[in-house]
């Protein structure tokens, strides 16, 4: 693992960056609905290729610090944050109170994953 940044922070930053790629791979094509489906699939795969170059080392290096359950929880929280921004800024789709409440419940779940109970 590179030592220029905290081993606690580096996996999180890499997972954040990988999520930006994956969100565009999964949902970016929604602005191009007239494009042929095989083309969008190939472009999405191309974007996902770069996502894997970030996510795989992030999880490998992150496993030295975090448990697999913690890494997955971090990933899901980041996914929601990135998707919320993507939905508002790129797709121009607003998020409502129900989305905020759902995200809050997921954050509560993250608390239970990370809290030391002993």
2-51 pLDDT, tens digit each: 678 999 999 999 999 999 999 999 999 999 999 999 999 999 999 999 99
CA atoms of 18 and 108, how far apart (whole Å): 24
pLDDT of residue 104 exceeding 70: yes
pTM of the model: 0.85
pLDDT of residue 111 exceeding 80: yes
Closest residue by Cα to residue 75 from 30, 17, 16, 22: 16
pLDDT of residue 117 exceeding 90: no
CB contact at 8 A, 32 and 40: yes
Give the model's pLDDT for residue 31. 93
pLDDT of residue 63 exceeding 70: yes
CA atoms of 94 and 63, how far apart (whole Å): 35
From the CB of residue 86, how many other CB atoms can be counted at a distance below 10 Å? 18
What percent of the chain is modeled with pLDDT above 90?
Answer: 84
Residue 82: pLDDT band (50, 70, 90) is very high
CA atoms of 51 and 7, how far apart (whole Å): 20
Which sequence spans correspond to the domains of the chain?
Answer: 10-114
Please give the C-alpha separations between residue 54 and each of 12, 13, 20, 23, 114, in angstroms, as whole numbers: 10, 9, 11, 14, 23
């Amino acid at each position: 693992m590179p030592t220029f940044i905290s081993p606690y922070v580096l996996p999180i930053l890499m997972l954040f960056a990988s999520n930006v790629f994956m969100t565009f791979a999964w949902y970016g094509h929604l602005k191009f609905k007239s494009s042929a489906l095989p083309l969008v699939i190939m472009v999405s795969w191309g974007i996902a290729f770069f996502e894997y170059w970030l996510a795989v080392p992030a999880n490998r290096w992150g496993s030295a610090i975090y448990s697999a359950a913690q890494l997955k929880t971090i990933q899901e929280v980041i996914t929601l944050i990135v998707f919320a921004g993507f939905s508002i800024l790129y797709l121009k789709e607003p998020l409502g109170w129900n989305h905020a409440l759902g995200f809050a419940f997921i954050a509560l779940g993250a608390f239970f994953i990370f809290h030391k109970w002993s």
